[in-house]
Structure 1
Amino acid sequence: MSPRLASLITAALAAACSPGPAPAAQPEPPPPGYQTAIFAGGCFWTEEKAFDGLPGVRSAVSGFVGGARPRPTYEQVVRGGTGYREAVLLTFDPTVISYRSLVDRYWRTIDPTDPTGQVCDQGPSYVTAVYATEAQTAAAEASRKAAQAALGAKGAGFVTPVYPAMRFWPAGPEHQDFARRHPGRYEAYRVGCGRSARLRALWGAAAVG
């Protein structure tokens, strides 16, 4: 990352990325008839925004997945060594939007050819992955194959995997609904990071974010 970009990102994140209060012990269970989906897609602010308000999506929660330490904090995760990745937990109504539709959208919110993070956000906590339940795995794998085919030659380096679902831990409240609560700071981050430009170059008009 260039010094100028680092300065932009630091200014955008300064207030929000402090450790903050301890995260919730666990997310609320989905209401009867609803299901959940977990996507690690780099910065969880961006993934949350990409799904929040989508018809059929009841909630999008920023948090962490992939590690073993209980109740991880943001500070612990970004320091490294925990195995956790930033992720979003979606609670959705499958009678309105299917899991497959959510995974199809997910690919268009990330650069699945980046093995080490997402654009300006680099490091283990920003590596992408789909975390699917046993019942979701076939749809996730089929969606992955279709997304790779849609990229054509650009999909040759498609590296984002589908993993078995793991325990999700919510991030602190200062990270929830960040784009909605702090639109100016989020926009500074989005533009400074260059993620939207990268997604458009990769996905064209299908890019989300």
Structure 2
Amino acid sequence: MILKNKQETAIFAGGCFWCMVKPFDEQPGIIEVVSGYTGGHVPNPTYEEVCAHRTGHTEAVKIVFDPEVISYEQLVQIYWQQTDPTDAMGQFQDRGDNYRPVIFTSSEKQKKIAVASKKALEKSGRFSEPIVTQIEDAKPFYPAEDYHQEFYKKDPARFEMEEKSRQFFKKNNWSN
């Protein structure tokens, strides 16, 4: 999706959205990172509905960015560094279909970039298991409740605990 002033959006799912915001939010050229839900069949889902697996949605982040400062290719590379692309039913300590890894693309250009990037990761030999991250057409994105937005800033102690757990899991369970 292209917005005014040459802004674009990217949508990525990769586990709990709390841990997906900060790595993107800290990059130059990022205008906004919104936590939310996408990929399901229920309009305007709540956190409780998504966690109860009644909506088909996954937790995701919508990133509004300036492509003259940071490219979609760079965002995809940051995404791969935040996820375990070999785990189709969750990410690290986050389990369930609402945490599945997906790159949601909103244009043919984004789809080509995402597919090429996934193929390059598969060929790299970094992982002994198949790369199972899905690449899907973007569906409606619903912002999560306010208390989920910029969680790493609102509750830094709890965020740090979640992030340490995620990093420990990555270090000890990834095939390198």
**d(CA) in 2 for partners of 1:166, 1:126:** 16
- Structure 2 counterpart of 1:195, from 148, 166, 176: 166
Q: In the alignment, what sits opposite 2:55? A: 82
Summarize deviations over 1:118-149 as a string: whole Å, max 9, x none: 12110111111000023310011011112223
Contact 2:128-2:175 within 8 A present in 1 as well: no
**d(CA) in 2 for partners of 1:188, 1:153:** 27
**d(CA) in 1 for partners of 2:129, 2:161:** 32
Q: In the alignment, what sits opposite 1:8? A: none
Matched residue type, 2:121: A
Matched residue type, 2:64: T
Matched, 1:39 2:12: yes
Aligned pairs (5 A) from 1:66-145? 66-135=39-108, 136-145=110-119
Matched, 1:148 2:119: no
Q: CA RMSD in A?
A: 1.7
Matched residue type, 1:162: I
- TM-score w.r.t. the length of structure 2 is 0.91
**d(CA) in 2 for partners of 1:58, 1:184:** 25
Moved over 6 A (4+): none
The alpha carbon displacement at 1:153 in A equals 5.4
Q: Secondary structure at the match of 1:125?
A: helix
Q: In the alignment, what sits opposite 1:173? A: 146
Contact 1:108-1:203 within 8 A present in 2 as well: no
**d(CA) in 2 for partners of 1:105, 1:53:** 11
Number of positions where the alignment pairs a residue of Structure 1 with one of Structure 2: 173
- Residues 164 and 77 of structure 1: CA distance in aligned 2, closer, same or farther (over 3 Å): same
Task: Report which of the two structures shows the higher radius of gyration computed on alpha carbons.
Answer: 1
Q: Secondary structure at the match of 1:67?
A: coil
**d(CA) in 2 for partners of 1:87, 1:124:** 12
The alpha carbon displacement at 1:30 in A equals 4.2
**d(CA) in 1 for partners of 2:61, 2:3:** 14
Q: Unaligned regions of 5+ residues in structure 2, if any?
A: none
Contact 1:111-1:198 within 8 A present in 2 as well: no
The alpha carbon displacement at 1:72 in A equals 0.6
**d(CA) in 2 for partners of 1:129, 1:120:** 17
Summarize deviations over 1:36-67 as a string: whole Å, max 9, x none: 00001110011111111211111110000101
Matched residue type, 1:98: S
Contact 1:104-1:147 within 8 A present in 2 as well: no
